[in-house]
A and B are shown apart, each in its own frame.
Chain A
Amino acid sequence: MYALSMSDERQKPGPSGQTEADPAALLDRVARDRDKAALAELFAIFAPRIKSMMMKLGADAALAEDLAQETLLSVWRKAHLYVAGRGAVATWIFTIARNLRIDQLRRQSNKPYVDLESIEIESDARGAPSLLEESEIVDRVSRAIETLSPEQREVVRLSFVHELPHAEIAVRVGIPLGTVKSRLRLAYDRLRPMLEDLH
Chain B
Amino acid sequence: MTIAFHPDISTLMAWSAGTLDEPFAVVVSTHMAMCEACRETARRTDLIGGALLKAETAEPMSDGALERLLEAADDERIDLPEPRGSDSVDPSVPQPLARYLPDGLDAVKWKFSGPGVATCELPTGTNANGRLMLLRVGAGKRVPEHGHGGQELTLILRGAYGDRFGRFAAGDLADHDEDVEHQPIAEPGEDCICLVAVDARLNFRSRVIRTLQPLFGF
Contact = CB atoms under 8 A, between A and B. Distances in A.
B51 interface: yes
Contact of B59 (A64, A125, A138, A166): A64
Residue from A40, A113, A114 with most neighbouring chain B CB atoms (10 Å)? A114
Nearest to B15: A113
Contacts of A80: 78
Residue from A55, A65, A91 with most neighbouring chain B CB atoms (10 Å)? A91
B90 interface: no
Which range holds the interface residue count of chain B? 35 or more
A87 B43 contact: yes
A107 B22 CA distance: 11
B65 interface: yes
A165 B21 CA distance: 8
Main secondary structure on chain A at its contact with chain B?
Answer: helix
B32 to A, nearest CB: 7
A166 B52 CA distance: 18
A119 B18 contact: no
Nearest to A143: B51
Interface string B36-57: 1001101111111111111111
A43 B43 CA distance: 23
Contacts of A24: none
A93 B115 CA distance: 49
Contacts of B45: 188
Contact of A94 (B21, B44, B53, B60): B53
Nearest to B40: A127
A69 B69 contact: yes
A81 B79 contact: yes
B50 A36 contact: no
Nearest to A7: B57
A137 interface: yes
B16 interface: yes
A57 to B, nearest CB: 9
15 contacts: A11-B54, A39-B69, A39-B73, A49-B56, A72-B69, A108-B124, A112-B29, A117-B81, A138-B54, A142-B55, A145-B52, A156-B52, A160-B17, A166-B14, A178-B177
Interface of A: 5, 8-12, 15, 34, 36, 39-40, 43-44, 46-53, 55, 61, 64-65, 68-69, 72-74, 76-78, 80-81, 86-88, 90-95, 97-99, 101-102, 106-123, 125, 127, 137-138, 141-142, 145, 156-157, 159-161, 163-166, 178, 180-182, 184-185, 188, 191-192, 195-196, 198-199
- 3 shortest interchain CB distances as A-B pairs: A91-B50, A48-B58, A108-B125
Interface of B: 8-10, 13-14, 16-22, 25-26, 29, 32-33, 36, 39-40, 42-62, 65-66, 68-70, 72-73, 76-79, 81-82, 84, 95-96, 99-100, 124-128, 177
